[in-house]
Structure 1
Amino acid sequence: MKNRIMYTAAIAAVMAVLALACKKSATTETTPLERQDLQATSAAAATCTAPGWASQNGGTTGGGSATATVVTTYAALKSAITSSSVKVIQVNGTITIPSGGRISFQDQSDKTIFGSAGAKLVSADQTKDNSGIIYIKRCTNIIIRNLIFEGPGAYDTDGWDNATLDACKNVWVDHCEFRDGVDGNFDIKNTSNYITVSYTKFTYLKAPKAGGSGGSDDHRFSDLIGSSDGATADRGTLSITFARCWWASGCVARMPRVRFGKVHIVNSLFNSTASKSCVQAGFEANLLIEANVFESVKNPIDLMDNNSTAVQSKNNLFTSVTGTSAGNGVTAFTPPYSITTLGNSSVKSTVTASTGAGATLSGNTCSSF
């Protein structure tokens, strides 16, 4: 009898413990929003090492492992970007930039903006004053990753690019896609320095709009480095690496067009059949064009007015191209960094892979170099 009483008491104790555990589990289960925040925190914890020029001048780490602020609306995105206290931003879903709502991101440092899978920032305005998605000025140590920037299509009204870097230092743009910008997709200017653009795709999927005041009926000009020949303050700056990028369908020119800068274009793919010129060597440009693939394009390397400092073509693969593809016979700068350089036969498969160029990641994860 005594043993039976003790056994019954033990069973009762076990049941009580199990009931308490179940109750605790039920009361501490995370809600969908909490799970989202936990995922954001985990994603933001990735601290990656920037390759190329962004590794110089102390390196580029963005907001580091700070907890992410999750945004799903334009108002929340603008508030987070313009707040210097927010260090990591996670963009979820598609956010539409209203007409005239281009976001001004100025005078900040140590910040990461990244997208979850499929995140997209969209502008539908083609006017001179109200177009564009983001303008980044006088910012330092910034990472932008895994975002699609989609404009309304090219229209030569002297409007705005999808994104612009102006007088920024140590910026790493990684695994993004820039498409259908009004004036261009992504420009870098005004003494910006120590910039790396990696695993990023540039494309135009929408037909250009003709009849713009600027005079070009087809302004699908993707990327401009340096604003003018007269911007002589750019001398000694505009040190930029484009690594494992993809200038894809619809790009006509400026892939990129460079003035002044020491620009390393490495392991990238150019295959826009709409092309008229790919890499354009402008005034005092110092270009190292290394181990890239040019496929079915016109004028892979355009020497323009022959006033560049150096244009060196090294180990590139040219397939079914027409026009000019040689450098100017002058050896370019030697990069002060080490970067894993693929053989040109591996470039196309790497860049076009499921986790290759474009917003192909699941969030703020590190790229492979």
Structure 2
Amino acid sequence: MAAVAATCSAQGWASQNGGTTGGGTATATVVTTYAALKTAIQNSSVKMIQVNGTITIPAAGRISFQDQSGKTIYGSSGAKLVSADQTASGSGIIYMKRCNNIIIRNLIFEGAGAYDVDGNDNLTVDACNNVWVDHCEFRDGVDGNFDIKNVSDYITVSYCKFTYLKAPKPDGPGGSDDHRFANLIGSGDGATADRTHLNITFVRCWWAAGCKGRMPRVRFGKVHVVNNYFNSTASSNCVQAGFEANLLVEGNTFENVTKPIDLMSNNSTAVQSKNNVFTNVSGNTSGNGVNAFTPPYSFTILSAAAAKTAVTGSGGAGATLSGNSCTSF
């Protein structure tokens, strides 16, 4: 049976450019198998998809989701998409390209484990506008857990949890023995078309056990990292300020991590650290001395301590909902 549609609206950057409503109140198509899920995702007339149970993505079965608008994909309680493919060409779960006005909510994405074969992430958002990813959990992506690239814009990632529970597979041809990297924003320093794009809000998210780095790593975009919780003891760096990044890191709690704010090569546009709490951390905690952008939206910003409670509590970060409901922030 399809759940009642969410009634709250996207906030953060996804509230701009006309807002993000997904499939609205359309009747959900309920899917329980890979074939049904793929068909529903690739059918542009299906505007609401409810995932029930665990769906296994077959080898090389990554789903291409292209050139659509106005769609919501959400999970009922415990819904999970699982891929065991660790190859360069076959890894990943959903690849979204040239889509607009999309909501993905309350789903667990579980990959095969980190392995540097230049493979795919559990979820990739490529050249998309107005996307809201809410209350999802991303585990054990091969190349990373969830990346955003190629002039994507007006994105909000809220109440999501990123974790690596499987040991990384070493000696990948890409050169890294530990590729437990969570979120890459922008594909390279040379991708200058990304200038003025990649405007993204990460709010009330949790970078948890096993994450090594890229929490997130940012190039070019105006990225608001606000009211999140970082506690991966496996970290070598958390927020990473890459080429021409404009980063506002605000009201977060960092505990037992290394390099909460990594200034990398010091070629960012602006990095501002504001009202954060750092407990038992090592490495840099400050910005680069340049104030970041002023967000064009507003919502209630909690203290860092209150944000940690919201992130880790009932209904907090991860696929903690019963279906297509949501939590305002």
TM-score, normalised on structure 1?
0.89
| Larger mean Cα displacement after TM superposition, 269-278 or 343-352 | 343-352
CA contact (8 A) 1:48 1:61 kept: no
The 3-state SS of whatever aligns with 1:272 is coil
For 1:78-93, what aligned pairs fall within 5 Å after superposition? 78-93=38-53
Whole-angstrom CA distance in 2 between matches of 1:354 and 1:123? 27
Matched, 1:43 2:4: yes
Whole-angstrom CA distance in 1 between matches of 2:8 and 2:130? 14
The 3-state SS of whatever aligns with 1:43 is coil
Cα shift readout 1:121-150 (whole Å, capped 9, x = no counterpart): 000010000110000000000000000000
Q: Paired residue for 2:104? A: 144
Whole-angstrom CA distance in 1 between matches of 2:226 and 2:92? 28
Whole-angstrom CA distance in 1 between matches of 2:87 and 2:244? 32
Q: Paired residue for 1:200? A: 160
Superposed displacement of residue 48, structure 1: 2.3
Whole-angstrom CA distance in 1 between matches of 2:299 and 2:281? 27
CA contact (8 A) 2:8 2:328 kept: no
The 3-state SS of whatever aligns with 1:367 is coil
Superposed displacement of residue 257, structure 1: 0.2
Matched, 1:112 2:72: yes
Select which of 309, 314, 326 maps to 1:354.
Answer: 314
CA contact (8 A) 1:63 1:87 kept: yes
Superposed displacement of residue 251, structure 1: 0.3
Cα shift readout 1:32-61 (whole Å, capped 9, x = no counterpart): xxxx2xxx1x423x2321010000000000
Q: Paired residue for 1:314? A: 274
Q: Paired residue for 1:252? A: 212
Whole-angstrom CA distance in 2 between matches of 1:235 and 1:193? 11
Structure 2 unpaired stretches of 5+: none
Whole-angstrom CA distance in 2 between matches of 1:335 and 1:347? 19
2:26 partner amino acid: A
1:43 partner amino acid: V
Cα shift readout 1:36-92 (whole Å, capped 9, x = no counterpart): 2xxx1x423x23210100000000000000000000000000000000000000000
Superposed displacement of residue 154, structure 1: 0.1
Runs of 4+ residues deviating >6 angstroms: none
2:177 partner amino acid: D
The 3-state SS of whatever aligns with 1:294 is strand
The 3-state SS of whatever aligns with 1:158 is coil
More helix, by proportion: 1
Whole-angstrom CA distance in 2 between matches of 1:137 and 1:81? 12
Matched, 1:298 2:298: no
Q: Paired residue for 1:167? A: 127
Q: Paired residue for 1:366? A: 326
Q: What is the count of residue pairs matched by the alignment?
A: 329
Whole-angstrom CA distance in 2 between matches of 1:243 and 1:178? 15
Whole-angstrom CA distance in 2 between matches of 1:246 and 1:43? 26
Please identify the structure whose Cα radius of gyration is greater: 1
Select which of 217, 221, 224 maps to 2:184.
Answer: 224
| Larger mean Cα displacement after TM superposition, 156-165 or 344-353 | 344-353
Superposed displacement of residue 345, structure 1: 1.7
Whole-angstrom CA distance in 1 between matches of 2:144 and 2:4? 31
Q: Paired residue for 2:194? A: 234
TM-score, normalised on structure 2?
0.99
1:125 partner amino acid: D
Superposed displacement of residue 211, structure 1: 1.1
Q: Paired residue for 1:28? A: none
The 3-state SS of whatever aligns with 2:85 is coil
Q: Give RMSD over aligned pairs.
A: 0.6
Whole-angstrom CA distance in 1 between matches of 2:155 and 2:65? 17
Select which of 40, 63, 76 maps to 2:23.
Answer: 63
The 3-state SS of whatever aligns with 1:349 is helix
1:73 partner amino acid: T
**Of the two structures, which has the highest relative contact order with CA contacts closer than 8 Å and spacing of 6 or more?**
2
Q: Paired residue for 2:55? A: 95
Whole-angstrom CA distance in 2 between matches of 1:216 and 1:200? 26
